[in-house]
Amino acid sequence: MRISFTRSIVVFALFFVAVPAVAITNAARGAILAEFAALAANEDPAFTRFSAVDGKKFFERRHVGGKPATPSCTTCHGASPLGTGMTRTGKTIAPMMVSKSPERFTDRKKLTKWFRRNCRSVLGRDCTATEKGNFISFMSQQ
Amino acid sequence: MSRFLFVLTATLIAISSGTASADSAFPPIEHDVFQRECSECHMTYQPQMLPERSWNRVMGGLDDHFGENASLDAEANRQILGYLMANAADVAPVKAARKFMRGLSAADTPLRISDMPRFRRKHRKLPSSLWADKRVRFRGNCNACHEKTESGIYNDYFVRVPGPEGTWARWED
């Protein structure tokens, strides 16, 4: 699919205007979300903005196509992203919600690694930029 | 004279029993990337616990690491593999490494440290109830019972095992 440069820039810029008022904002996270927004616009011509509601559904959904031991994000992260999760080895995972763990989704390298691992484990494929952005938007809510 | 010999002997015995564990202790893990990347879900295992070929197998199969995707970017994988292979059981010039190779057939390439003959021999007296205890969960959870894994010390002196009703007990052989 041919990347539309102009469209990417427009969506990128619009993102800073259209950030939902109820999100907990942070410069690093904002920049990452804006990058995902530009990628999402390329993936899907119909993309306008991220949806925290869709992010919540995505988090809670029982996905098909991944590894049998991890059918959902909730399998390891717990039913609520406000609480701690647990790895299959018994190690505690800090809450996903930014309100509890403010440093979440601010490190690109860390984010790339964990989205790669966990999307492939749970969904059996890489997550789309839209899915990632929705997910982060949900986790950034108050 | 006999008093002197007595004191000398006692001192030598004391020194040798004090260093016995140090002899077989594992060297400190000195690799930042390995330490960071390979302890996010489980303790950092000493590289001297598996032969080169096993580490190669582990690092080549991170997409399905005991049921989890634990994949790394190519550079991190390369660095970690290099460190592991340089300090593997069949490479490292330390006693702990040589001991860990005991009984291992050249035809075997275990994926798990707990499948090494030395591990099996050392843990042969443990009841299955111990492994099933929630505080242990799996054989790779060394630090559940071994109190000094970070210092590379695994001897009996520093082991406590889960007891009934949430208690802990010293391991009595």
For the stretch B78-103, pLDDT in tens is 999 999 999 999 999 999 999 999 99
Q: What is the pLDDT of residues A68-111, one digit of tens each?
A: 989 999 999 999 999 999 998 989 999 999 999 999 999 999 99
Q: How confident is the model at residue B2 (pLDDT cuts 50, 70, 90)?
A: confident
**Which range has the top average pLDDT, B15-19, B23-27, B160-164?**
B160-164
Strands A85-86 and A92-93: what pairing? antiparallel
Interchain proximity A88–B71, CB inside 8 Å = no
Q: How confident is the model at residue A114 (pLDDT cuts 50, 70, 90)?
A: very high
Q: Compute the average pLDDT of residues B157-161.
A: 94
> In a 3-state reduction of DSSP, which class is residue A45?
coil
- Look at residue A133 and tell me whether its pLDDT is greater than 80: yes
Whole-structure pTM value: 0.82
Q: How confident is the model at residue A7 (pLDDT cuts 50, 70, 90)?
A: confident
Q: What is the pLDDT of residues A21-77, one digit of tens each?
A: 477 788 999 999 999 999 999 999 999 999 999 999 999 999 999 999 899 999 999
Question: In angstroms, what separates the C-alpha of A127 from chain B's closest C-alpha?
Answer: 14
CA-nearest of B38, B29, B25 to B140 is B38
Interchain proximity A120–B69, CB inside 8 Å = yes
- Look at residue B19 and tell me whether its pLDDT is greater than 60: no
The answer to ipTM > 0.90 is no
Q: Does A88 touch chain B (CB under 8 A)?
A: yes
Alpha-carbon torsion, ordered B41, B46, B51, B54, to 10 deg: 10
Interchain proximity A90–B63, CB inside 8 Å = no
pLDDT at residue number A14: 63
Interchain proximity B73–A113, CB inside 8 Å = yes
DSSP string, chain B: -HHHHHHHHHHHHHHHHHHHHHHTPPPP---HHHHHHTTSSSPPPPGGGS-HHHHHHHHHTGGGBTTB-----HHHHHHHHHHHHHT-TTT--SHHHHHHTTT--TT---SSGGGSHHHHHHTTT--HHHHHSTTT-STT-GGGTBTTGGGT--SGGGBEEE-GGG-EEE---
